[in-house]
A and B are shown apart, each in its own frame.
Chain A
Amino acid sequence: MPSRSARPRFLNLFQIRQPITALVSIIHRISGVLLFLSLPFAVGLLHLSLRSAGDYQRVLHWLALPGMKLLGLLLGWAILHHFFAGLRFLLLDLDLGLRLQTARATAWSVFAIVAVFFLLLAWRLA
């Protein structure tokens, strides 16, 4: 067996057209990491929102700032994708939708449903 470093490395992920199911999966990961990074700020906002009436107003004021709305949109998208892709993975774990054709269709559906709810969210935040 060749040593670890001698193994051929020729995979350029960006030159491979990923199947739709792979895209759902990797974006599920990316959105999960994004949400993880947001946790300290989310807990911080919850802390402030419950501390005093003044702090509560301050949180509302911050959340209404354009930059924060943009960030909210990004995290909202992350939650939506993580939620619906995660639901799909849970169903796959229950052996539902394992046929390739079905799996591709549900992967497309995840993107479609996320897009619809994202537009709804953007409309509500605007």
Chain B
Amino acid sequence: MTFRAQGMRAWLLQRFSAAYLALFVLAAVLWLATGGSADYSGWRALLGRPVVSVAFALFFLSLFFHAWVGIRDVLMDYVPNLKLRLLLLVAVALLLMGLAVWSALILISVYLS
């Protein structure tokens, strides 16, 4: 893969994740506008539906990749010191990976208890 193609991949990832995030947010807002969930059991039941779990899992996946490309771009633009930039990139990557594991565990936990 050429150097240019790597930038292209991030660019595409940013756009496709954006499209899914927009659809998910739209669905969530519509759900909230039409009453949403009033109590704990209803909320659990909603997240206990496989189709909702998958939609959330895709949402988190898109969200964390989208955030990664965005923050990466911001750091590349505003942090000229390469060592500091690398340090921040690693910190952001670790944070996002941690959040990905955490959110996956949350989605799975609904089925376990």
- B-binding residues in A (CB < 8 A): 29, 32-33, 35-36, 39-40, 43, 46-47, 49-53, 56-57, 79, 83, 86-87, 90, 93
Chain B residues, CB < 8 A from A29: 70, 74
Interface of B, helix, strand, loop or mixed by DSSP: helix
In the complex, the answer to whether A50 meets B110 with C-beta atoms within 8 Å is yes
A-B contact count (CB 8 A): 52
Chain A residues, CB < 8 A from B96: 39
- A-binding residues in B (CB < 8 A): 15, 18-19, 22, 25, 39-41, 43-44, 47, 63, 67, 70-71, 74, 95-96, 99, 102-103, 106, 109-110
Contacting B95 at CB < 8 Å: which of A40, A79, A93?
A40
Question: Considering only CB atoms, which chain B residue lies closest to A35 in the complex?
Answer: B67
> Would you mind naming 9 contact pairs between A and B with Cβ atoms under 8 Å apart?
A32-B67, A33-B71, A39-B63, A46-B103, A83-B25, A86-B22, A87-B22, A90-B19, A93-B15
